């Protein structure tokens, strides 16, 4: 990148972030009107069942391999299994191909699922628009997606970020804002807590179906990369349900085997210039556990000359200055934070806390139980920690913050919204957070990220 380009980056970083950088930690003065979050009714248009007998519904896609040449297509047929094939073809091509999937059902207490289809399409071409059809006879439905560019260090790519969405009227506003954001997210990184069906008596799984129909308008056209949250556990021995994550694992498949993971709750993918590691806050992660051993072997595999941007997703935040879920991520932080610093993770995104917060680059790895050094310190090898748990779910906003605001907390606000992470090249990425109550292009918080491997300068000093 030339000096002029760098100047432009830094100038805009200064303009957009001046208030945050100059004032130190900032708690937003914006106060969202306190209103109860209410789930949309079952007969809402948002949950409308597609027309036609046994029409496919709840269509969604995710990455289907490690590098982005595969796509997992998932859908549900309500009346009978129907066809388990996906017909797909490149844009402007008459040559149609078929992929065959598998059909699953499950029971949860007094609920029996419809027929859940998962089909992996392989060996796609990079940076190509594909159309695909699911269904049979008169009830075929057609969608499309665009594969990512080939993996490479300077490939621009824009990720959206949503967490803790649920299916309230606020959730609908969040998804609409994401869809209409002029930055145009190409893939959504989902930070856990999906349907909130477990807020209903007996974890009413009908609310898994409505949620699947709600997100179809986005998730059928671009991959949603899944992180498991606490509302996916669905462990309810009082009603005889003792297998954790049962609805989630049946409905949302991920390509975990492609990264040698032994479970669908932790895995990795490459996409464009990013290496994305998904962790599970609600699976065992202590020493010798499968997740620990996997991450220990995974981090050395990341080649920053190929994928410069190292992004980690987890549900429970490690740095959180709200009284909600305070310090719940602490034990995972103690286990893994030194690795994140060693391997220079760029950013860690989390959900769980129903609000927004962004940290400085800090670590607390000097602390041990005998030395008393328990204050996080600035660390340019450490990630920025960002909580985007503000999707709008039925439990409402977390508006009770710890005081005083910790020194590591740059910006926090109790509002619903979504975020965008737009990679420009190997050195720079632009990040922004958008609250629901603003216009579609308004950025309530933003910063330029400097890559920890290629350009490990202090973003905050450089902005002055």
Backbone torsions φ then ψ of 412, nearest 5 degrees: -145, 145
Classify residue 142 by burial, with Cβ atoms within 10 Å: 0-12, 13-18, 19+.
Answer: exposed
Angle formed at CA 181 by CA 176 and CA 187, multiple of 5 degrees: 85
Q: Is the distance from CB of 59 to CB of 74 less than 8 angstroms?
A: yes
Rounded alpha-carbon distances, angstroms, from residue 42 to 39, 165, 174: 9, 17, 19
Phi, psi of 447 (to 5 degrees): -160, 155
Per the document, the length of the chain is 464
Phi and psi, residue 232, nearest 5°: -95, -5
Of 87, 89, 106, the C-alpha closest to 98 is: 87
Instruction: Return the H-helix or E-strand segment holding 3.
Output: helix 3-23
Write the CB contacts of 222 (distance below 8 Å, at least 6 apart in sequence): 61, 145, 146, 185, 186, 187, 188
Cβ burial of 202 (10 Å; 0-12, 13-18, 19+) is middle
Q: Which residues are catalytic?
A: 325
């Amino acid at each position: 990148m030339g000096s002029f380009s760098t100047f432009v980056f830094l100038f805009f970083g200064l303009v957009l972030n001046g208030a945050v950088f100059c004032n130190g930690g900032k708690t937003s003065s914006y106060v969202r009107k306190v209103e109860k979050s209410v789930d949309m009714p079952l007969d809402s248009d948002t949950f409308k069942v597609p027309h036609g007998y046994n029409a496919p519904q709840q269509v969604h896609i995710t990455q289907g391999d490690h590098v982005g040449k595969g796509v997992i297509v998932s859908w549900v047929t309500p009346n009978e299994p129907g066809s388990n094939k996906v017909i797909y073809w490149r844009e402007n091509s008459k040559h149609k191909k078929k992929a065959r999937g598998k059909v699953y059902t499950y029971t949860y207490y007094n609920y029996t699922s419809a027929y859940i289809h998962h089909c992996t399409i392989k060996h796609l071409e990079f940076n190509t628009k594909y159309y695909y059809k699911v269904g049979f006879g008169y009830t075929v439905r057609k969608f499309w997606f665009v594969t990512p560019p080939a993996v490479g260090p300077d490939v621009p790519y824009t990720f959206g970020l949503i967490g803790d969405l649920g299916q309230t009227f606020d959730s609908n506003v969040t998804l609409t804002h994401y869809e209409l954001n002029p930055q145009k997210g190409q893939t959504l990184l989902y930070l856990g807590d999906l349907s909130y069906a477990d807020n209903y008596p007996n974890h009413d799984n009908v609310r898994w179906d409505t949620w699947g129909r709600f997100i179809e308008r986005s998730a059928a056209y671009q991959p949603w990369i899944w992180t498991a949250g606490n509302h996916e556990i669905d462990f309810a021995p009082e009603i005889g349900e003792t297998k954790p994550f049962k609805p989630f694992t049946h409905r949302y498949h991920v390509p975990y085997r492609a990264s040698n993971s032994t479970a669908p709750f932790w895995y990795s993918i490459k996409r464009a210039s990013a290496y994305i590691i998904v962790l599970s806050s609600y699976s065992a992660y202590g020493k010798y556990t499968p997740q620990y051993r996997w991450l220990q072997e995974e981090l050395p595999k990341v080649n920053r000359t190929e994928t410069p941007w190292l992004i980690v997703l987890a549900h429970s935040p490690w740095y959180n200055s709200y009284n909600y879920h305070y310090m719940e991520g602490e034990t995972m932080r103690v286990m893994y934070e030194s690795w994140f610093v060693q391997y220079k993770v760029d950013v860690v995104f989390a959900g769980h806390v129903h609000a927004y917060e962004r940290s400085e680059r800090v670590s607390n790895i000097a602390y041990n139980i005998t030395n008393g050094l328990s204050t996080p310190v600035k660390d340019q090898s450490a990630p920025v920690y960002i909580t985007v748990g503000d999707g709008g779910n039925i439990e409402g906003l977390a508006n009770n913050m710890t005081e005083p605001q910790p020194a590591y907390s740059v910006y926090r606000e109790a509002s619903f919204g979504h975020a965008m992470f737009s990679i420009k090249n190997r050195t720079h990425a632009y990040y922004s957070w958008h609250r629901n109550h603003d216009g579609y292009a308004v950025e309530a918080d933003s910063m330029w990220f400097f890559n920890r491997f290629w350009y490990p300068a202090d973003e905050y000093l450089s902005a002055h």
